[in-house]
Amino acid sequence: MEKIAVIKKHLSKIVVGIMLVIIAYIAIFRQDIVIHQYNKAIGMYYIYKGDKALKKQDLQDAIGFYRAGLEKYPRHYNAWFNLGNLYVLYEDYFAATEAYSKAIEINDKYMLARMNLGIISAEKIGDFDEAINQYEHIIETKRRGIHIPFIYNSGKSIKQNKAIAYYNMGHAYRQKAIYLPQEEYIQYREYLKKSAEAYENAIKIFGEDYDTSYNLALVYHLLREYDKAGKNYCKAIQTDFMSFEAHYNLAVLLKHLKFYQEALDEMEKATMLVTSSKNPYSKSMYILAVLNDISSSAFLQASDEEYKNKKMENKKTTDNNSKQDDNEYNEDDFAIGLTNGKIVVNDKLDNLINERLKKCPEELFTNLNDNEE
């Protein structure tokens, strides 16, 4: 036992001696390693201080700490990302793009940094090519999802990132098309087609939603593919019938196609939604002017004898339906009242209004020529 203890004592001395020799060698011949580790420790300390300041919403302090930390240890990609977000808050977009780019240089698969760089490049700087490049990287980057049943599934977030990248790419291509000179019509259409393709891919991944369907309809409207535009405006309305933009644009499209009565109906819906919103005056005057124009067109159309006959047939059908419906509900079912100084309606009338808003003349777009003027 004593021999074993002596051996252990000698071994520990040998190990300590070797460690001292290594430290001495590094200190004398590899001072760069010592300096790097020292700077890294100082940098990490400042970045830690920056994280704490950010949590407390001390934004200026956070920027100062992150800068100091990254000066000492520039390989911390999360700090670059946080610094980029802070620059965005202060609308220093060029500094933000530089910070996001640094984060991506260090971590090529940093999807959030790529997404933010793409958004800022397109929306704030007008560098659509850089934005599209970042979105393409997000879409093409293959990452393994982690799935722990009932606890965590990263596969959903990966799919969501791709869908958002496609959606944002659609925006970037559309903006790129709009900023082209008028004489570059062929390139204009090419960019719009790529925009539509990107929106379609977003829908394939995550299904229908108002924003994607509406923007896809808008692109097809610009491409003069009116059947696809109309159908997607209808999809947007069916997803969120309380948003006035789809009703308004659909009314404009229907007016262009000379479906004046249907256009008038959609514009009335848009007017109702705008005038009942929190800030009705910003858009209502313009919408009312367009509504008046469509009403005039519908009135002129009504002067045609054939159209009048059609209206009479519709009226007879409506009257017959009304007689049948009279047996199903009473006038009181659709009563309005006054509560706390506000007009209120009961559930049946509210549902009737909602059903009217949801209704969309999708059947009108089934036989249209794609390139109809």
DSSP for 49-69, please give it: HHHHHHHTT-HHHHHHHHHHH
| Inside any domain, residue 228 | no
First to last CA, the chain: 101
| Inside any domain, residue 58 | yes
- Tell me the residue range of the domain where 100 lies: 34-108
| Inside any domain, residue 61 | yes
Strand partners, 336: 345
| Inside any domain, residue 56 | yes
pTM over 0.85: no
Asked whether 373 and 224 are in contact (CB, 8 A), the reply is yes
Q: 137 to each of 2, 78, 134, 142, 158, how far by Cα in Å? A: 66, 19, 5, 10, 13
Half-sphere exposure of 105 (CA within 13 A, CB side): 10
Q: Which residues contact 180 (CB under 8 A, 6 or more apart)?
A: 187, 188, 191
Q: 14 to each of 3, 7, 263, 340, how far by Cα in Å? A: 16, 11, 92, 89
Joined tokens for residue 43:
């940098």
- Kindly report the length of the chain: 373
| Inside any domain, residue 54 | yes
In DSSP notation, 129-175 reads HHHHHHHHHHHH------EETTTEEHHHHHHHHHHHHHHHHHHHHHH
CATH at 60: 1.25.40.10
pLDDT (tens, 9 = 90+) of the chain, 373 residues, equals 566 665 655 566 665 556 655 555 555 555 566 677 788 899 999 999 999 999 999 999 999 999 999 999 999 999 999 999 999 999 999 999 999 999 999 999 999 999 999 999 999 999 999 999 999 999 998 765 544 444 444 456 788 899 999 999 999 999 999 999 888 999 999 999 999 999 999 999 989 899 999 999 999 999 999 999 999 999 999 999 888 889 989 999 998 898 988 888 988 888 888 776 655 545 554 455 555 566 555 555 555 545 555 555 555 554 554 444 444 444 444 444 444 445 444 556 556 677 878 888 888 888 765 445 4
Of 235, 359, 191, the C-alpha closest to 227 is 235
| Inside any domain, residue 87 | yes
| Inside any domain, residue 158 | no
pLDDT tens digit string along 271-311? 888 776 655 545 554 455 555 566 555 555 555 545 555 55
Total structural domains in the chain? 1
| Inside any domain, residue 198 | no
